[in-house]
Amino acid sequence: MTMPIKSICCLGAGYVGGPTMAMIAAKCPHIKVTVADMNEQRVAAWNSDTLPVYEPGLDAIVASALGRNLHFTTDIRSAIAGADLIFVSVGTPTKSYGIGAGRAADLRYIESAARLIAEVSEGHKIIVEKSTIPVKTATAIKSILAANSPNGATFQVLSNPEFLAEGTAVEDLQSPDRILIGGEITPEGNAAVEALVSVYANWIPRERILTTNLWSSELSKLVANAFLAQRISSINSISALCEATGADVDEVARAIGMDSRIGPKFLKASVGFGGSCFQKDLLNLVYLCESFNLPQVAKYWRQVVQLNDWQKSRFVEKIVRTLYNTVNGKRIAILGFAFKKDTNDTRESPAIQVCRDLLHERAHLAIYDPRVSAETIHQDLIAAGVSPELIATNMEICSDPYTAIKGAHALATLTEWDEFRTLDLPRVYGLMLKPAFVFDGRAVLSLESLVAHGFEAFVIGKGL
């Protein structure tokens, strides 16, 4: 018999938990949805007119349910106690210490959440892994719940990984390719799976809701991101070959993308991929393969990450060599710092490594991004190893692209914001020192148009 879900709690009000729960609340007005997070500032932002996450269309979704059946709170214990179903959407960063450092997922927040759920819960609850976690994490969660429940509560653990793309998260939540739910193949497990299926079925066709065993669901998330990242690294490797031979990587991508066996998505060459998932999940997959004594498989997937790092280094080297082997004291306008357009997320953004390396070459950077704050840019670069003194003397944050470009020796585009596609090129050329160099790391500008306007131009994947 399927357990009716009347109250949902989500632990974690970040990029996944906040938007996902807002959509569930908007589509399921009969279900109380509470998002709990210990970060008071983040919770206050969700309850305000300035959300902590920027996604097109998200403001309207949150506003439609906030205060009705959608609530954000720091009272985590009460939220857990009152919920039938609990999503665990806490951080699983890559470990920076100890065994598996730089590859394995750090599961301390998952464990803390499980222990708190066990301590507070009564009756029967369904626990849903929403965070990206290694295969077999459900086993650890189940053992912690079973050993630490003083009130005799019972639990079923499900896996329900997210497949959101930042910048299109609202669209992805409203009409996803699929919803994946994994559970134990037992009567109790099947009932728990069906209970979660019934929530999503309020707006998603049943044929798009895929159910599997726990381990297939946990692994599918890592594999999906690994395959997508692999496609980007693959086309980026070809971008270097195109530059060397005179081919055009966009034309090559269009030609191979028309093959129905390949398809056109994720074949856009760039300075590199970023975001919270691709590198983290790839490294996690590498570590899993090593842990299960599959070194050849681990080496295969590690190469995807290494090529992504090489693409960023290659871009910096191109700038330095083109500017007569020195950028010391030269003003370089950086357009874009987010890892992709339509988001203020900078996690693993290629811009961080590019800016870090240029600052270490003693370039003077003038950075503009329409959504990323100056504070975030400073924090990211300090975390990447740039000294506060170097940032203070060699970097400025600008309020518009033309201010950044004024007096620059070179211009580098690092995020594909739409506004960069319509830059006034005669104005840009007039503002820059001559020769005016452009390094387009996102291929948002036409190479022919740049050359026609007098620029010395390099566009990723375009042979001169």
Averaged over 28-41, what is the pLDDT? 97
Alpha carbon of 122 to those of 115, 116, 154, 397: distances in Å?
13, 12, 8, 52
The confidence score (pLDDT) of residue 136 equals 80
What the block records as the tokens of 346 is 């900078």
Q: What is the pLDDT of residues 299-352, one digit of tens each?
A: 999 999 999 999 999 999 999 999 999 999 999 999 999 999 998 999 999 999
59: tokens are 């403001």
Give 314-350 as a DSSP string. HHHHHHHHHTTT--TT-EEEEE--SSSTT----TT-H
* Per-residue confidence band for 139, with pLDDT thresholds at 50, 70 and 90: confident
The pLDDT > 90 percentage for the chain reads 89
Say which residues have a Cβ less than 8 Å from residue 123's Cβ, sequence separation at least 6: 153, 154
Q: Which residue has the tokens 């632990």?
A: 11
Give me 202's structure tokens: 């309020």
On whether the CB atoms of residues 156 and 184 are closer than 8 A, the answer is yes
Give CA torsion, residues 440, 446, 448, 451, to 10 deg. Answer: -40
User: What pLDDT does residue 386 have?
Assistant: 98
Given the residues 242, 277, 289, 355, the one annotated as active site: 277
- DSSP-assigned letter for residue 455: -
User: How confident is residue 103, by pLDDT bands cut at 50, 70 and 90?
Assistant: confident
Q: What is the pLDDT of residues 275-306, one digit of tens each?
A: 988 999 999 999 999 999 999 999 999 999 99
The confidence score (pLDDT) of residue 3 equals: 73
Per-residue tokens: 168:
């299109």
Least confident window among 4-18, 132-146, 231-245: 132-146
User: Is 289 one of the annotated active-site residues of the chain?
Assistant: no
Q: Using DSSP, state whether 453 is helix, strand or coil.
A: coil
Can you tell me the distance from the alpha carbon of 271 to that of 299, in angstroms, rounded to the nearest whole number? 23
Q: How far separated are the first and last CA of the chain, in Å rounded?
A: 66
Q: Tell me what the mean pLDDT of segment 261-266 comes to.
A: 96
pLDDT-derived band at 104 (thresholds 50, 70, 90) equals confident
Q: What pTM was computed for the model?
A: 0.89
Q: Which two tokens stand for residue 248?
A: 């055009």
Q: Does the pLDDT at position 171 exceed 90?
A: yes
pLDDT band at 135 (very low <50, low <70, confident <90, very high): confident
Structure confidence by residue, pLDDT tens digits, 9-20: 999 999 999 999
Q: Determine the pLDDT at residue 1.
A: 56
Q: How far is CA 236 from the centre of its chain?
A: 19
